Structure 1
Amino acid sequence: MIHLPNLIVDLGLILGAAAVITLIFKYLKQPVVLGYLMAGFLVGPHFKLFPTIVEVENVQVWAEIGVIILLFSLGLEFSFKKLMKVGGSASVSAMSEIIIMLFIGYFTGQAFGWSSMDSIFLGAILSVSSTTIIIRAFEEIGIKGQQFASLVFGVLIVEDLATIVLLVLLSTLAVSQQFEGTEMLFSIMKLGFFLTLWFIGGIFFIPTLLKRLKPLLSNEMLLIISLSLCLLMVYLASSAGFSPALGAFIMGSILAETNQGIKIEHLVSPIKDLFGAVFFVSVGMLIDPQILVEYWFPVTIILIITIVGKLFSSGLGALLSGQTLKTSIQTGLSLAQIGEFSFIIATLGMTLGVTSSFLYPITVAVSAITTFTTPYMIKFSFPFSNKVVAMLPQKWKDSLARYSAATQSVSATSNWRVFLRKYITNTVIHTIFSIAVIILSTKYIYPFFQEQSEGKIWGAIVTIFITIIALSPFFYALSFRNLYDEEAQKLSRHKNYRNIVYVMRAFRHLLALALLIVMLNSLLSIQAAIIAFVLVVITLVVFRKQIKKYYIKIEERFLVNFNKNGVDVEEKETPMLAPWDAHFTEIVVKPESSVVGKTLEELKWRERAGINVASISRGDLNIHLPARDTIIYPGDKLYIIGTDTQIKKINSILRPEKSVGESDSLYKPSLEKILVQKDSYLYGRSLKESNLRDIAEGIVVGIERNGQRIVNPESNWIFDENDLVWIVGDHKKILSALQ
């Protein structure tokens, strides 16, 4: 008999148990994640009734790979363009939730008598919500188009990035075992440096690489290249002292900005499902009933704190950002859970050996319970928010309405703010890339040429030459780019801003010179560095125009790659018409919807539901302010404006009828041809008068008359004798209605 390694047997047991349990949970209409946790518990070392995993260490390796793939997939769903467009409300709500829950979690742990590290990790675990669980709950309840749902999605986008920062800070704190402000500040600056470098560099190179390879890219090759890039970034992140999960997330977010992002996400999805199942099952394996029984009181308290604390923290942030009280309460109750990122944070503490053994199963227990309660909390948010609003005095309601309207109506941006934003962005980005080039030059290029030249001066000269060529576009950008635009010129003429603008310009010139001096001083002696400095400055001034063209090409390449996908409908801001409840939202038309093939004039949505269609996104086509004769097609993304009640009504109109779904198996569409005779139904009628869609459930796609073919005839077409009409529809209904 051939011996099977324990790893294969364990993997088969994990997937088999996951399959059976998740089928049961699916039948019971419970989240699949809970099924994975239960499967892990049943095959884990703490439950002996069923076969048990033999080599837990090997499973943990699979689980670590699962974390990497899971974060890579989350990165593919993440978008920096979406992050820039979430607006102030989502950012304020997310940061309010994270900061308040960090403090609440920490002081809760201290009240239990836990160690400082356990308390800090508990705060981090409670500070983030579950993207997967919330999106799935919104889809099941059918409220993705409502106003507060848009705000929740924005909060989740901000939380995704904030959690990555938390992972880095927690890793640093775990290694040092003490909270040092200087070290934390250095870690944040280091993280910002590498995030900017990796993201901008990745956007510059990777879309171009995929574009060049497109003729050679099959699905298999695209998947392999994507995973190899993911693992490469995992290695770079680890080498820089960050967690592997950070590298996976960053590469996923970079690939999400390419025109292949959606396709890559689709290809990676089965792998994510596989390794994600292994990860969540491995989490369930760590559930120890004895620990849960022992710590039932902390579990109960933390559960209550999670629900109440998140309602307060995120709801307060939403209210302060100008959202209505109703929207704020609905947002807070929707975010009242912990999920996949909390598992990863708990795993980090356990892997680094800085948290106690009880924290992980407590996290799993709270997550499992809040996963179960999330759909009910979202449903409960509607009557609860209405009741709270009804209980408030009228003066309070009026004050909140005025505050909301005033906050959301502030949209003017001064020239000073525009200039300051451009100045800071330009300075930070090009300084980071200049430092990166200098580090690369001094750490790798210079030692290489020194070895090749055996310590002779030409090695340093070649290094300086290569480095200056690489640095020249960034020096140009630091010194001149975006400094003489319209805003800067207006401010220069204003006496209150003139001097500070001049000082800021001078600072950037000095910064570029300082970076040049640092680079030369690290390669040459002081005397040689001074001479080289003068020569380099003269060279940069003389070839300034050529350097400008070089920089513009680099900038254009980045902007083309970054904007390659355009701005999708879902990425647009969704402002609210304050103080009313009307807001923008996106609805995708399903293929089986009854509205497919009808014009906006026929549908009469304004009369029936009170909504207006502002634009329609159809693939790469965007139809702004569609006309009344615009036809709705399957997969159309409708960008509409209306109140929550109106949007709910239009969702019910767009939702496929049950009778349609039930009769799908009986419906056999075919292409039929009908010859029009004088005694037939169609003779003498126009296409519109024939009403074929209703009486025969068919669509006329073409007509042949006197040897000529007319494709998609107009509605005013009159049928004549001997017309050959091509109709797509049900064979029996077409024949019974027309012959």
Structure 2
Amino acid sequence: MGGAFLAAALLARLGGRIGLPTIPLFILAGILLGPHTPGIVLLSDPHDLEMLSALGLVLLLFYLGLEFHLDDLKAGGRKMALAGGAYLLLNVGAGLGFGFALGWGTGEALVLAGVLGISSSAIVTKVLVDLGRIGNPETKPILGIIVVEDVFLALYLAALQPILSGADSLSAAVMDGGKAFGFLLLLALVARFGTKVIGRLINTPDDELLVISFLGAAVFMAGVSEWFGVADAIGAFMVGLMLGSTTSGDRILKLVHPLRDAFGAIFFFGFGLSIDPGDLPSVMWPVLAAVAVTLAMNVFAGLAAARIYNFGPGPAANISTTLLARGEFALILATMAAAAGLDERLSPFIAGYVLVLAVLAPMVAGRSHLLAHFLPQAKQREPVPS
């Protein structure tokens, strides 16, 4: 653990001197000190960091929920659904088409639809924080799209599981999907009507007790969400959403900050541990083609969201580039595909694709103003009602 923290910190410090973002440097530290590269091996089994990496993801999404207030969710529900739906339609549809174009098989194409279609919530959150864009007007639709993606993700995983297992059990798939949707609905109702009660339960003047309380709530709900077939990240996000609207919200935001940064670094380091650079050359051309498709679809999705929210080219470019990264969900799909015995090229393809975008996305997001010069000016019109 000490070596992981120090290696990530050292590379990030060196990269900071030349203006590189921290995310790809944390990943690079994991690659260099993992079992797949020569030299020092801190961890021979990447699964040794699995729990701490999961905690990093939970804290990143919990922080995201704290920033995304319930009033924003209620005020922008229709716009959020339209922007998120447009993003999924473009990216998931392109991923499915790309999967069939590769000719690796139907199961593989269904997996690639999710790989190319769903953004990395962890990396998106880190990019927004690192670039100081949390307060920007376009950040609300970005976070809204992530929420829509997470809801889709729960239903997508429930539907994909029986297909990958080869089981002819439509009723089981419907039941799993219904269970996940019901749990999400319950969380939404608690967030809508139970915030005052939750606020009274968690409120305490003692910072130590407050940290233990909100950390326990976030991690516990993440575990319960996973048990119901919902991504653990969405459970942590919903807890953050609830607590951010309480009287303790501002204190929690301040107290969780160092925890988020520390364990977020371990999440990206653990991601690097799982990548074997030797597998990447065999899938280099499909990876580059997939990256090009994702870049194009994100630009179209950014323009669509900007039109819905009546934004100009600057915010449209920010939306397009911030949502570019793919990460933790793609790795989950790679694990599922390997367990299902799908094409052996799928795992190295996903690793290479995610690595390229994890490195590229923060760098591109920091230079989104260059893309804005090439985007059309939005026509001024009446805003779409929320």
TM-score (structure 1 length as normaliser): 0.46
Secondary structure at the counterpart of residue 164 of structure 1: helix
- Distance between the aligned counterparts of 1:316 and 1:181, measured in 2? 34
Secondary structure at the counterpart of residue 3 of structure 2: helix
Secondary structure at the counterpart of residue 347 of structure 2: coil
- Distance between the aligned counterparts of 1:98 and 1:197, measured in 2? 24
- Distance between the aligned counterparts of 1:239 and 1:137, measured in 2? 32
Residue of structure 2 equivalent to 1:161:
147
User: Partner amino acid for 1:236?
Assistant: V
Bigger share in helix:
2
Most deviating of 198-207 and 43-52: 198-207
Q: How many residues align?
A: 373
Secondary structure at the counterpart of residue 357 of structure 1: helix
- Distance between the aligned counterparts of 1:19 and 1:134, measured in 2? 17
| CA apart distance, 1:43 | 0.5
| CA apart distance, 1:301 | 1.0
Once the two structures are superposed, residues 64-115 of structure 1 have per-residue CA deviations (whole angstroms, 9 ceiling, x without a partner) of: 2322333322222233321222365554233212211101011112212234
Residue of structure 2 equivalent to 1:35:
25
Is it true that 1:77 corresponds to 2:62 in the alignment?
no
Structure 2, unaligned runs of 5 or more: none
| CA apart distance, 1:294 | 1.7
Identify the match of residue 64 of structure 1 among 54, 64, 81: 54
**Cα RMSD over matched residues?**
3.2
Secondary structure at the counterpart of residue 373 of structure 2: helix
- Distance between the aligned counterparts of 1:41 and 1:174, measured in 2? 30
Is it true that 1:323 corresponds to 2:310 in the alignment?
yes
Is it true that 1:348 corresponds to 2:336 in the alignment?
no
Per the alignment, do residues 76 and 120 of structure 1 end up closer, same or farther by CA in structure 2, a change over 3 Å counting? Answer: farther
Secondary structure at the counterpart of residue 177 of structure 1: helix
Residue of structure 1 equivalent to 2:352:
361
Per the alignment, do residues 180 and 328 of structure 1 end up closer, same or farther by CA in structure 2, a change over 3 Å counting? Answer: farther
| CA apart distance, 1:188 | 5.1
- Distance between the aligned counterparts of 1:62 and 1:288, measured in 2? 21
User: Partner amino acid for 1:288?
Assistant: D
Is it true that 1:313 corresponds to 2:301 in the alignment?
yes
Higher relative contact order (CA 8 A, sep 6+): 2
User: Equivalent residues in 2 for 1:344-423 (5 A)?
Assistant: 344-352=328-336, 353-354=339-340, 356-358=346-348, 359-376=350-367, 378-385=368-375, 388=376, 401=379, 404-405=380-381, 407-408=382-383
- Distance between the aligned counterparts of 2:230 and 2:10, measured in 1? 37
Once the two structures are superposed, residues 392-445 of structure 1 have per-residue CA deviations (whole angstroms, 9 ceiling, x without a partner) of: xxxxxxxx84xx52x43x76xxxxxxxxxxxxxxxxxxxxxxxxxxxxxxxxxx
User: Equivalent residues in 2 for 1:612-627 (5 A)?
Assistant: none
Is it true that 1:114 corresponds to 2:94 in the alignment?
no
User: Partner amino acid for 1:168?
Assistant: A
- Distance between the aligned counterparts of 1:367 and 1:29, measured in 2? 16
- Distance between the aligned counterparts of 2:45 and 2:276, measured in 1? 18
Per the alignment, do residues 73 and 135 of structure 1 end up closer, same or farther by CA in structure 2, a change over 3 Å counting? Answer: closer
Per the alignment, do residues 203 and 337 of structure 1 end up closer, same or farther by CA in structure 2, a change over 3 Å counting? Answer: closer
Per the alignment, do residues 184 and 256 of structure 1 end up closer, same or farther by CA in structure 2, a change over 3 Å counting? Answer: farther
Per the alignment, do residues 261 and 230 of structure 1 end up closer, same or farther by CA in structure 2, a change over 3 Å counting? Answer: same
User: Equivalent residues in 2 for 1:472-621 (5 A)?
Assistant: none
User: Partner amino acid for 1:66?
Assistant: G
Per the alignment, do residues 117 and 69 of structure 1 end up closer, same or farther by CA in structure 2, a change over 3 Å counting? Answer: farther
Residue of structure 2 equivalent to 1:172:
158
Aligned 8 A contact 1:91 1:154 in 2: no
- Distance between the aligned counterparts of 1:357 and 1:12, measured in 2? 29
- Distance between the aligned counterparts of 1:108 and 1:371, measured in 2? 24
User: Equivalent residues in 2 for 1:72-111 (5 A)?
Assistant: 72-86=62-76, 88-111=78-101
Per the alignment, do residues 138 and 234 of structure 1 end up closer, same or farther by CA in structure 2, a change over 3 Å counting? Answer: closer
| CA apart distance, 1:181 | 7.6
User: Equivalent residues in 2 for 1:621-700 (5 A)?
Assistant: none
Once the two structures are superposed, residues 290-322 of structure 1 have per-residue CA deviations (whole angstroms, 9 ceiling, x without a partner) of: 222222112211221121111123313543x37
Residue of structure 2 equivalent to 1:456:
none
User: Partner amino acid for 2:95?
Assistant: G
Identify the match of residue 195 of structure 1 among 184, 192, 217: 184
Secondary structure at the counterpart of residue 384 of structure 1: coil
Q: Name which one, 1 or 2, has greater alpha-carbon Rg.
A: 1
Aligned 8 A contact 1:107 1:119 in 2: yes
Per the alignment, do residues 255 and 114 of structure 1 end up closer, same or farther by CA in structure 2, a change over 3 Å counting? Answer: farther
User: Partner amino acid for 1:135?
Assistant: L
| CA apart distance, 1:272 | 1.6
Secondary structure at the counterpart of residue 44 of structure 2: coil
Residue of structure 1 equivalent to 2:125:
132
Once the two structures are superposed, residues 362-418 of structure 1 have per-residue CA deviations (whole angstroms, 9 ceiling, x without a partner) of: 212222123222222x11133223xx56xxxxxxxxxx84xx52x43x76xxxxxxx
Aligned 8 A contact 2:94 2:113 in 1: yes
Once the two structures are superposed, residues 462-499 of structure 1 have per-residue CA deviations (whole angstroms, 9 ceiling, x without a partner) of: xxxxxxxxxxxxxxxxxxxxxxxxxxxxxxxxxxxxxx
Most deviating of 74-83 and 273-282: 74-83
Over the matched positions of the two proteins, sequence identity in percent amounts to: 21
Identify the match of residue 206 of structure 2 among 218, 242, 255: 218
| CA apart distance, 1:224 | 0.5
Residue of structure 2 equivalent to 1:270:
258
- Distance between the aligned counterparts of 2:18 and 2:31, measured in 1? 19
Aligned 8 A contact 1:283 1:364 in 2: no
| CA apart distance, 1:184 | 6.1
Aligned 8 A contact 1:106 1:119 in 2: yes
Per the alignment, do residues 75 and 382 of structure 1 end up closer, same or farther by CA in structure 2, a change over 3 Å counting? Answer: closer
TM-score (structure 2 length as normaliser): 0.84
Aligned 8 A contact 2:210 2:252 in 1: yes
| CA apart distance, 1:210 | 4.2
- Distance between the aligned counterparts of 2:200 and 2:280, measured in 1? 53
Once the two structures are superposed, residues 547-573 of structure 1 have per-residue CA deviations (whole angstroms, 9 ceiling, x without a partner) of: xxxxxxxxxxxxxxxxxxxxxxxxxx9
User: Partner amino acid for 1:111?
Assistant: A
Aligned 8 A contact 1:93 1:155 in 2: yes
Secondary structure at the counterpart of residue 327 of structure 2: helix
Per the alignment, do residues 343 and 36 of structure 1 end up closer, same or farther by CA in structure 2, a change over 3 Å counting? Answer: same
Identify the match of residue 321 of structure 2 among 325, 333, 336: 336
- Distance between the aligned counterparts of 2:223 and 2:287, measured in 1? 37
Per the alignment, do residues 213 and 132 of structure 1 end up closer, same or farther by CA in structure 2, a change over 3 Å counting? Answer: closer
Per the alignment, do residues 116 and 266 of structure 1 end up closer, same or farther by CA in structure 2, a change over 3 Å counting? Answer: farther
Structure 1, unaligned runs of 5 or more: 1-10, 390-399, 412-572, 574-739
Is it true that 1:44 corresponds to 2:29 in the alignment?
no
User: Partner amino acid for 1:345?
Assistant: F
Aligned 8 A contact 1:313 1:332 in 2: no
Once the two structures are superposed, residues 555-595 of structure 1 have per-residue CA deviations (whole angstroms, 9 ceiling, x without a partner) of: xxxxxxxxxxxxxxxxxx9xxxxxxxxxxxxxxxxxxxxxx
User: Partner amino acid for 1:284?
Assistant: G
Secondary structure at the counterpart of residue 53 of structure 1: coil
- Distance between the aligned counterparts of 2:170 and 2:112, measured in 1? 20
Secondary structure at the counterpart of residue 58 of structure 1: helix
